[in-house]
Amino acid sequence: MKPLVYKKRRRVRNQPKPRVRLHVAKGDTVQVISGDDKGKRALVLRVYPKTGRITLEGVNVVKRHKKATQTTEAGIIEFAAPIHHSKVMLVDPKSGAPTRVKRRIDKDGTVERVSVKSGQPIPRNR
């Protein structure tokens, strides 16, 4: 009969996911291309590069029921929840239609976003 031997297992930590390169930035106007809010145009309020999600103004609005505490009252709170960046397309500044985005490096080394449909540069709103 074998003796019972318990080996201590070393805990292996998961490697952190790399940051996602997003095609949208805070202040951009985008159009939702899939989901419940398909077709809506909205402004990007916040970007989460680690998870690849973005928060849009008036899109994916959810309700949360809050209990009363000593400082706050009970009630239903509505707020915009983040959605994945692949569900939106940037709006072309020239035509106003949703477009894909490519990156172009200028002679001075700065990277700019360019609309695939019209070829117009898309400025970053910071």
Residue 123 backbone dihedrals phi, psi, to 5 degrees: -70, 150
Band the pLDDT of 12: cuts 50, 70, 90: low
The total of other beta-carbon atoms located within 10 Å of residue 23's CB is 18
If 0-12 CB within 10 Å is exposed, 13-18 middle and 19+ buried, where does residue 76 land? exposed
pLDDT at 9: 64
CA distance 16 to 36: 31
* Measured CA distances, 35 to 32, 81, 92, 99 (Å): 8, 13, 21, 18
Contact 45, 58 (CB under 8 A): no
pTM of the complete model beyond 0.85: no
Side chain identity, residue 58: G
Band the pLDDT of 8: cuts 50, 70, 90: low
Tens digits of residue pLDDT in 28-70: 999 999 999 999 999 999 999 988 999 999 999 999 999 999 9
* Phi/psi-derived region of residue 19, left when phi > 0, alpha when psi is between -120 and 50, beta in every other case: beta
pLDDT at 103: 92
- Give the pLDDT mean for 112-123: 91
pLDDT at 20 over 90: no
CA distance 96 to 91: 6
pLDDT at 1: 62
Calculate what percentage of the chain has a pLDDT beyond 70: 87
* Phi/psi-derived region of residue 76, left when phi > 0, alpha when psi is between -120 and 50, beta in every other case: beta
Second CATH level (architecture) for the domain 29-122: Roll (2.30)
Domain boundaries, the chain: 29-122
